[in-house]
Amino acid sequence: MTSQRSPDAHSGDDVLIALRGVSKAYRRGKEVVPVLSDIGFDIRRGEFLALMGPSGSGKSTLLNLIAGIDNPDSGSIVVGGNDITRLPEASLADWRAANVGFIFQFYNLMPVLTALENVELPLTLTHLGRRERRDHALLALELVGLSDRIKHFPSELSGGQQQRVAIARAIVTDPTLLVADEPTGDLDRQSAEEVLTIMQRLNREMGTTIIMVTHDRRAAEHAKAIMHLEKGELAERVELRRE
């Protein structure tokens, strides 16, 4: 494993995400609580970035802003040439459907749908036909090693298997960006390792850009770089390996 400091911003065509002057605060009654202050950095295409920091440092908020499920108070977030902070809600939903895959800590699968149906779900927003949707979903489940569990409901799967279904759902639309919020936070060590290995493979073999929020140092070490946040500010960025 290599480790080196790197500059805050990159330039060139390989930049997928560019944040400039991003700030976010929450209101608690009359009190305004700043969460992120003037954040600015770039994320390259094909990067696997782990966001770390203590609770309340703003890492999940930052992830939500990049994924387009929350809006900054100020600043711009350009993803693949689109400033997503300027997109109206309906366009932002379309943008998320086409560009972002989500992996959540508690998997967030639809409990009434089977593994296959859960993975097929995001494809219903595309123009794919029924058979094509099924083929894509089967392929995604095969990639995460769950071909033999396609008819199982989430309640019939272990935590690790559920998270692998969630990964299949996240990658089935072939998104530009995969965002994962504590993807191993609810898993045992072995399941966590399996999930992280799959994410690493997706990044390495398919070139998927991944941003992962984690508390777990061992999980973060599966990434190519770790970015530390403290009190809503970028503390440091550590490059772990370059391929």
Partner 1 sequence: MIQWFKLVARNAWRQRLRTWLTLAGLVVAILAFGVLQTIISAWYAGIDNAVPSRLVTRNAIAFTMPLPHSYDKSIRAIDGVRGVTYMNIFGGIYKENKNFFVQIAIDAGSHFDMYPEFVLSDETRRAFMSDRRGAIVGRKLANRFGFKPGDVIQLRGTIYPGDWEFVIEGIFDARDPKADTSQLFFHWDYLNETLRARSKAQADQVGFFVVDVADIDRVNEVSQTIDALFRNSTTNTLTETERAFQIGFMKQTESILVSIRIVSVVVIGIILAVMANTMAMTARERLGEYATLKALGFGPGYIARLILGESVMIALIGGTIAIALTPPVASRLVALTETPLPPLIVDTKIIALQLFASLAVGLLSTLVPMHRAANIRIVDGLRAVG
Least Å from the CB of residue 137 to partner 1: 11
Least Å from the CB of residue 17 to partner 1: 17
Residues making contact with partner 1 (CB under 8 A) = 64, 67, 69-70, 90, 93-94, 96-98, 102, 104-106, 108, 110-113, 117, 120-122, 124-125, 130, 169
- Complex with partner 1: residue 93 or 139, whichever CB lies closer: 93
Assess contact for 182 and 152: CB atoms under 8 A.
Answer: no
Residue 198 CB partners (closer than 8 Å, separation 6+): 143, 144, 145, 164, 167
- Complex with partner 1: residue 25 or 69, whichever CB lies closer: 69
- Complex with partner 1: residue 64 or 200, whichever CB lies closer: 64
- Complex with partner 1: residue 25 or 238, whichever CB lies closer: 25
- Which residues pair with residue 5 across a beta bridge? 238
- Complex with partner 1: residue 83 or 94, whichever CB lies closer: 94
Helix (H, G, I), strand (E, B) or coil at 46: coil
Least Å from the CB of residue 97 to partner 1: 2
Listed in sequence order, the DSSP H helices in the chain are: 59-67, 89-99, 115-120, 130-143, 159-171, 189-206, 217-220
Q: How many Å apart are CA 51 and CA 57, to the nearest integer?
A: 10
The first and second tokens of residue 148, run together, are 């033999």
Residue 226 CB partners (closer than 8 Å, separation 6+): 49, 50, 51, 52, 220, 237, 238, 240
The first and second tokens of residue 215, run together, are 């508390």
Least Å from the CB of residue 212 to partner 1: 16
- Complex with partner 1: residue 78 or 98, whichever CB lies closer: 98
The first and second tokens of residue 28, run together, are 């608690």
The first and second tokens of residue 167, run together, are 């990964």
